[in-house]
Structure 1
Amino acid sequence: MPIEKIAFPGHDGQTLAARLDRPPGRPRAYALFTHCFTCSKDLAAVRRIAAALADSGIAVLRFDFTGLGHSQGEFANTSFTTNVADLVCAADHMRATLEAPAILIGHSLGGAATIAAAGRIPEAKAVVTIGAPSEPAHVTHNLGASLETIEREGSARVSLAGRDFTITRDFVEDVREASLRAALADLRKALLVLHAPRDETVGIENASAIFLAAKHPKSFVTLDDADHLLTRAEDAEYAASVIAAWSSRYLPPLPPEKTAAGHEGVVRVSEDSPLGLLQHVSVDGRYPLIADEPRALGGSELGPTPYQYLSVALGACTAMTLRMYARRKKLALESVVVDVGHDKVHAADSADAEAGSHRRADRFVRRLRLTGDLTPAERARLVEIADMCPVHRTLEHASVIETVEEREDE
């Protein structure tokens, strides 16, 4: 299943809610994703990054801290220390039921908690922070004028991102006492710092402090003009692609799984958000791709359209078929370029249309550019061979498509 519901006990025994984004095939590794202050595992950026990493072969567990999202408990009774403890509980649960996380990812204050907890998760090889503060006490900047009330009266209701939370004096004192300097100096894991220079919530100077305090191997990648929550889909996509590429250096290679004869693996397509048309695409957990539609049709134009992918299949199969034929016949074919266009035409314009029909048919126009010392007869034969490519034949003839619903609770 693409996403599994998971529950496990947190630091005080309360049940914490989690989601596991799985790749279609066997995971290359597992990652643990920790959300930002007062956010949840279902924040758009968290969902997008987890889905994209799953498409690259990395299974991602994302969970809600105690008192947030779908997790039990009272947020007012939590602190930075309890967040770190919840994170360790999540890693313990993964170790016992799945596999210990090899990658730890934390967003904002979740990034600080990830650094603090990393030493207690020995299997983790890599740590990623996204817009993280260099010290947990930075979060008190979000409390504004309420901070004085909290210190004087012991607690206060604070509005954060349009929601009200009770923040206590214990929470404030805890984040002030917490420090990441020792944890960073003794991290002993690869570190990737992702931060946006224009982040107005956690300034870029925090990324510099984290980077300088850590020892190598360490990397820093800017998120350009992204906002703190990575609300734009393209910013989350970029962050995920960087994490996937960077972390691959620290992960063992995944041997290809054997598939049944004639079976080419599972192509998984999962939507990014019900608000748009962007789709995440992978084949057996590898080759992460995206598909989209033009803005005029409600998409965001971040990737090829489904019909363009059909054209890709036809063009690629044609080029491969011609190359294999040329090798077998020892032809002097130096290079092959295939341009494929697609449109809709009235069926009456196609060769197999019935007279007077008004239905529309799909037309693929394929143009070949063949270079090499080829005779006219060889060129003519290569054009004939192009029509024999398997995808060409599939498009020309009817296919059998079976649709089966898989329920999340099955």
Structure 2
Amino acid sequence: MPTEKLTFTGHAGDTLAARLDLPEGPHLATALFAHCFTCSKDIPAARRIAQRLAAMGIAVLRFDFTGLGHSGGEFKNTTFSSNVGDLHRAAEALAEKGMAPSLLIGHSLGGAAVLKAARGITGIKAVATIGAPFDPEHVTHNFTDALEEIAQTGEAEVKLGGRPFHIKKAFVEDVAAEQLAPEIGALKAALLVLHAPLDAQVGIENATQIFSAAKHPKSFVTLDDADHLITRAEDAEYAAEVIAAWVGRYLDLRPPAPPPGAPEGITRVAEADPAGFLQDVNAGPIHHIQADEPFAYGGTNRGMTPYQLVAAGLGACTSMTLRMYARQKGWPLTHVSVDVMHDKVHGQDAKGEYDRIDSFKRRIHLEGDLDEAQRTRLLEIADKCPVHRTLEAGAQIVTELAEPAKVTA
């Protein structure tokens, strides 16, 4: 996916660093992502979610809060309220580019921040939280031992994720005073709550409280045994899949007319896991499946193989063709199913040479009060299915190399 590096001014006038992940096709909507406490915009979960949404036509802005990652300012001078302010500035920066966000996504404390910020951002239609605390003060359990020192001296150095951070009294007082229930109850957007029951950092009861405080439309999906940071690739992928499937109900993702020469639009295949073979297959912004290879061939078996996808196309086209014919004839065909098997066998190719060629074996199941003549005719019609004809006759494949995707400064 193309990525644009950009900066904008944060709540206190500091320069904040951001990445705008863009769709390769039409831009249909924009999302704003808020990362977890002391994390950055580049955590794996953020990257995976951005990649999946970009494939749907949704641009995603992920940025570093003040004092974190590549952003300017001092972290010790920030508070929960300042994070909310940074979110508002990020939304304004997007609006200035003509890409005002309609979706907010927040991870951990970033989830609490988007719940707080949503009402102050015009045009938000959907909000998704991942492992978010209902009470922002919950974050102080990460440095409980330092709270007394902070209260007495005004600040203290704490270790978070193995790194030193300075926490000031203003931060502790700010999260203690924050109450999210009224904001959640007044949310004028659809809400999706994602949370892992075994989350050791932010307990599952937080998800229950957020969900209970919200009005419909609202949804809750468990992340099973994922950890708080969603570090495993399969957990980040699952979260991305759920958000992508859910948000399609609340954002207008209707694409423009397909380009000339592609009446069904473009089918885009992109790597989901460069270390293996997992692929994202997108036909427009709505339809998505995955392709992969079995474990025995170095894959992770999370999707159909390429040949299984070809077999699926043949089977689907066959079933549709038979249904269309039976419907036109008024025949009592009540159900169709098609089994397709692929193999390579020795045979004679189009040039008359003997070699291993692809063989598809198709077994058709017809249900209904059909006589023998009708069943025989339907078997003949199966060979007229367009995909059957394409595979039998062969197809012209024209390949060209696209220009490299650029990361602009």
Give TM class, smaller chain. Answer: 0.7 to 0.9
8 Å CA contact retained: 1:107, 1:129 = yes
Alignment of 1:62-77 (within 5 A): 62-77=62-77
Q: Deviations over 1:149-197 (max 9, x none)?
A: 5555554444333444343444334333433244234334333322222
**Corresponding residue of 1:100:** 100
Per the alignment, residue 42 of structure 2 pairs with 42
Residue equivalent to 2:388: 392
In 1: Cα distance, 2:215 partner to 2:326 partner: 54
Tell me, yes or no, if structure 1 residue 195 matches structure 2 residue 192: no
Identity of aligned residues (%): 57
Mapping of 1:160-179 within 5 angstroms? 160-179=160-179
2:353 counterpart of 1:367 = no
Shift of 1:130: 1.4
Change in 2 beyond 3 A, CA 1:299/1:229: farther
Q: Distance in 2 between matches of 1:342 and 1:148?
A: 69
Mapped partners of 2:218, 2:372: distance in 1: 58
Query: Which has the higher mean CA deviation after the structures are superposed, 171-180 or 309-318?
Result: 171-180
In the alignment, is the contact (CA less than 8 A) between 1:23 and 1:58 conserved in 2?
no
8 Å Cα contact 1:157/1:167 also seen in 2: yes
Q: Does 1:401 align with 2:401?
A: no
Deviation at 1:262, TM superposition (A): 5.0
**1:16 is matched with which residue?**
17
Matches of 1:293 and 1:37, distance apart in 2: 37
**1:124-139 superposed matches below 5 A:** 124-139=124-139
Q: Do the aligned residues in 1 keep the contact of 2:181 with 2:213 (CA within 8 Å)?
A: yes
Q: Distance in 2 between matches of 1:84 and 1:125?
A: 18
Q: CA deviation at 1:366?
A: 1.5
Separation of aligned partners in 2, 1:150 and 1:343: 69
1:7 aligned partner: 7
Q: Distance in 2 between matches of 1:215 and 1:380?
A: 57
Instruction: Answer whether contact 1:131 1:194 (CA < 8 A) is retained.
Output: yes
Distance 2:373 2:213 in 1: 69
1:350 corresponding residue in structure 2: 347
1:377-388 alignment runs, 5 A limit = 378-388=374-384
C-alpha distance in 1, partners of 2:267/2:257?
A: 14
* 2:303 corresponds to: 303
Do the aligned partners of residues 73 and 268 (structure 1) sit closer, same or farther apart at CA in structure 2, a change above 3 Å counting? farther
Q: Corresponding residue for 2:116? A: 116
2 CA distance for matches of 1:216 and 1:330?
44
Once residues 350 and 252 of structure 2 are traced to their aligned partners in structure 1, the CA distance between those partners, rounded to angstroms, is 54
* 193-202 vs 384-393, greater mean Cα deviation: 384-393
- CA positional deviation for 1:378: 4.8
Distance 1:402 1:72, change over 3 A: farther
* Matching residue of 1:321: 321
Moved more, 359-368 or 163-172: 163-172
Contact 1:26 1:285 in 2 (8 A): no
Q: 1:277 to 1:132 in 2, by over 3 A?
A: same
Q: How does 1:147-158 map to 2 (within 5 A)?
A: 147-152=147-152, 154-158=154-158
1:131 is displaced (CA, Å) by 0.9
Alignment of 1:214-253 (within 5 A): 214-252=214-252
> Unmatched 5+ residue regions in structure 1?
none
Measured after TM superposition, the shift of residue 88 of structure 1 is 0.7
- The count of corresponding residues between Structure 1 and Structure 2 is 405
Name the SS of the counterpart of 2:82 in structure 1: helix
Question: Relative to 1, partners in 2 of residues 1:165 and 1:310: Cα closer, same or farther, differing over 3 Å?
Answer: farther
Larger mean Cα displacement after TM superposition, 243-252 or 5-14: 243-252
For the 8 Å contact 1:95–1:101, the answer to whether it is kept is yes
Q: Given the superposition, is the C-alpha separation of residues 120 and 242 from structure 1 closer, same or farther in structure 2, using an over 3 Å criterion? A: same
2:297, 2:149 → 1: CA distance? 50
Tell me: CA distance 1:401–1:356, structure 2 relative to 1, closer, same or farther (3 Å).
closer
Residue 215 of structure 1, CA deviation? 4.2
Normalised by the length of structure 2, the TM-score is 0.86
Q: 1:328 to 1:213 in 2, by over 3 A?
A: closer
Offset at residue 221 of structure 1 (A)? 3.1
The alignment's C-alpha RMSD in Å is: 3.1
Q: Structure 2 counterpart of 1:403, which letter? A: E
Q: Which runs of 5+ in 2 are unaligned?
A: none
Task: Give CA deviations for 1:184-222 in whole Å, capped at 9, x if unaligned.
Answer: 343343333222221110012222332344444444333
CA gap of 1:2–1:307, structure 2 versus 1, over 3 A, is farther
- Residue 254 of structure 1: CA displacement? 2.8
